[in-house]
Amino acid sequence: MPAAAGLPGAEVEGGVEVVDGVDHALALAPPRTRAGARLALGLLRLRSFPRGFAGRPEAWRAGAIATLETSGSMVVRSLVLLLKGLCCAAYAGSPRVLRVLGAAPRCELGPNADPPALPPHLDREAMRPPAGEVESCDVVVVGSGAGGAAAARVLAEAGLDVLVVEEGEYYDALTYSRDPLHALATLYRDGGLTASEGRPPIALPLGRCVGGTTVINSGTCFRAPPGVLRRWREVHGIPWATALDGEYESLERDLAVRLVEPGRAGGNGELCRAGADALGLSNGPIPRNSGGVVCCGTCPMGCALDAKRAMHVSELPRAVAAGARIRAGVRVQKVVVQRGRVSGIVGHSEDTGRYVARAGAVVLGGGAIGTPELLLSQGIANGSGQLGRHLRIQPACWVGARFRGREVRGWDGVMQSWRVDEWLDSGLFLEATFTPPPFGAHWLPGAGEALASGLARYDELAVIGVHLADTSEGRVRAGRGGRARISYRLTRTDAAKLRFGIARAARIHFAAGADEAYPQIGGLGALRPGQEGRVERSLLSPSAMRLEAFHPMGTARMGADAQRSVVAPSGESHEVGGLYIADASILPTALGANPMLTIMACARHIARGLAAELS
């Protein structure tokens, strides 16, 4: 990142420091990710042998990186993209760079917004686990994200004594970091570098804090498509799957879910709407759990106003008001099972050491990665052999487009604002999702001065995310130290569907007046209007795609058949009495929509059944 296009240089006198932030981020990453970073640096050294990479001229170095970024090797491309992503987060997150771009992250309430309560009604000190004390309760809930928090509230309001145990720490609008890499370190699992292995490897950012991934997601709150719920009832034997309307309605009231108002979606959303309308495509505003927020640019680092009703400002305070207790900073290591029934959990706190809680029931809400990770490390609740299998992630692709000479300024509107649901029956859903510079700059092509030039014109970018309800599957296995090892292989069929979606996203951009679009497929450069057909005609393998995923689910799926599922329709393990799961891992199939609301609706239903049984 040289000084160019009005931007300061990186790691030069008077420039922006990048290396220390990247080094810190990698220290928090899984060992395989750190090994990948070392390998990527080795590739650069090898390419410049014998002179050494740092000794080469700046233009040569930029060209070498750009060549590797477009290599025919998936491994090489992925390794370079890893380093580029970290460097861009550190560089583009610098306040100096953001000032030059005019893109300082901010959130604003509209005139009709429901004012958020600040500070949140949770007591940080009350969350500290007691040292050397065994706690007792009726139910211990492991995990405080969408599923765990929703279950905890229902159980506490039913009069049960509830403990919520969370591996991460508590942060709120008063304590979120505005430094992107520091935010990744404090709010995300693995410092934000969780990824699935496979062809291609896919980034899978997950929350690790009180409130879980709801703290860092975009707040989109769709109900599950009715056809999906019917399939759960008819194929997987879940009789209540089509009877969730009451739970959805209650959640939408409690979380202040509103459609983004037309005219307040910002430039990015307006261009998506204009392009879709020009093509006659079904489209509309996205429902979000943030009341009437009209500018929302801090979601990935925690809502600056806590106007987004993440679990730490909504369900968890309600659970605490009903008597629940929260223990933050405790990693649960074991579910205690005696004579075929749970009797509590054992964990560890960095502050107070060993933590033990006794309970008559355990509800796991650690998500589609954390829940199987815990159970597989113990070898329990897996008589069917299905635990950890059937991972769905709803892979997604960032499709940016440049509107030359036009100020889009996507950061001035709602980050995730507009949807195109024309192809929902095919499993494709498109969402106008503007990505702030620290988290989106690495998707711009090139390196060196070319990258700086593209970043300097970030205000001309519009972005559409292409998401797929996948039929491809992955798996979570127990790795070293009990940490999950995640694999996922994108099938050719799903890759073709994604290419179809990418081409349609580019066409929407062009219909709105874009000059070029970036398809994020190795071997394909920027597209000009009329060239989007190249994406569909491409015979490149699935490994050529550059993807992310934000919706893991299905690894402890629910069903009536104990040979094909992990938990019964009640949410209770088929094998271990008193062990319940109430998170994304129980969802039997991909949704074709953002899953937060459905996770919560299912968790509430399961918790009501458990509460009735225990009372």
Active site residues: 551
* Residue carrying structure tokens 């279950």: 151
Cβ-Cβ contacts under 8 Å for 161 (sequence gap 6 or more): 136, 137, 138, 139, 323
To which H or E segment does residue 287 belong?
strand 287-288
- Reduce the DSSP state of residue 103 to 3 states and report it: coil
528 DSSP assignment: P
The CA distance from 171 to 168, in Å, is 9
The dihedrals phi and psi of 436, each to the nearest 5 degrees, come to -55, 150
Query: Which residue type occupies 224?
Result: A
Count CA atoms closer than 13 A to 204's CA, side-chain side: 29
To which H or E segment does residue 318 belong?
helix 315-321
Contact 506, 500 (CB under 8 A): no
Count the neighbouring beta carbons within 10 Å of the beta carbon of residue 303.
Answer: 25
Token output for 45: 């050294």
* Sequence-ordered strand ranges (E) for 318-433: 325-328, 330-338, 341-349, 353-364, 396-402, 416-420, 428-433
Count the neighbouring beta carbons within 10 Å of the beta carbon of residue 571.
Answer: 24
* Residue carrying structure tokens 């090139």: 446
Token output for 71: 């290599």
Greatest alpha-carbon pair distance for the chain in Å reads 74
Cβ-Cβ contacts under 8 Å for 169 (sequence gap 6 or more): 186, 209, 210, 328, 329
Sign of CA dihedral 558, 562, 566, 567: positive
* Residue carrying structure tokens 């094998």: 575
The CA distance from 150 to 93, in Å, is 33
CA 151, 155, 161: angle at the middle one, nearest 5?
Answer: 125
What is the full DSSP assignment across 483-517? Answer: -EEEEE---HHHHHHHHHHHHHHHHHHHHTT-SEE
Give CA 214 to chain center in angstroms: 9
The CA distance from 207 to 183, in Å, is 11
